[in-house]
Amino acid sequence: MSGRIQKSAAEQAHVAEAEQREDADRTAMRPPEGASPGHPERAGALAFCPHRMVDAVTQIAPEELKGRGIEGLILDLDNTLVLWRKEEMTEEVLAWLQALQQTGIQLCILSNSLFGKRSARMAERLGCHCVRGARKPGRRGFLRAMAEMKTSPARTAIVGDQMFTDILGGNRSGIYTIMVRPLHRREFIYTKFVSRPPERLLLRWFRKRGHI
């Protein structure tokens, strides 16, 4: 009998913990009272469409983000800030990141990598947050990044080079999505030959209809 009671109590605690996580997720997805989202919702096929396209991250002015009410910026690494699997950033990218921080915008590197420590090392050098094992385009990693920065979806943006991870995950999480052209053609084989072809087709389709 005692064993059953203990097991039941453990099950109840597990259920309560799961409910608390779901409540936290719902709270994080809801804009603060009186806040204007600042960006249109991306639903249906538009879940794959970025709110903005740029050739390089340095084209994103910190003042533009502040004007949209953005307080936290989620950052992809490979072919967004650095070349694939590298750590060295150009002087222009470093200056851009510093300008963002000087305007009060928090930064968080969001990486799908679970075991590598490259993203953590880079975050430490930049003095910003880092979330690994994100499993983009799942929302959990985006929610964790917002929790680290203490921002809501209405106050958060992401910049990344991949539609089916960075942009889809960002749109599913209700944040402002900015897609950047990849820094280089070198990338994962899967990304290059499986993800990129339909990505190009969709971008062409979105442009034709004036979505970007």
pLDDT in tens, 43-70: 899 999 999 999 999 999 999 999 999 9
Task: Assign 111 to helix, strand or coil.
Answer: coil
Task: Assign 113 to helix, strand or coil.
Answer: coil
DSSP E strands, the chain: 52-54, 72-75, 106-110, 129-131, 156-160, 176-180
- Do residues 51 and 160 touch, judged by C-beta distance below 8 A? no
Which domains are seen in the chain, by residue range? 46-208 (3.40.50.1000)
Residue 2 φ/ψ, nearest 5 degrees: -60, -40
Q: Are strands 52-54 and 129-131 parallel, antiparallel or unpaired?
A: unpaired
pLDDT digits (tens, 9 = 90+) for 8-41: 454 454 444 544 544 444 444 444 343 345 578 8
pLDDT digits (tens, 9 = 90+) for 115-155: 778 999 999 999 999 999 999 999 999 999 999 999 999 99
Q: Check residue 38 and give its pLDDT.
A: 58
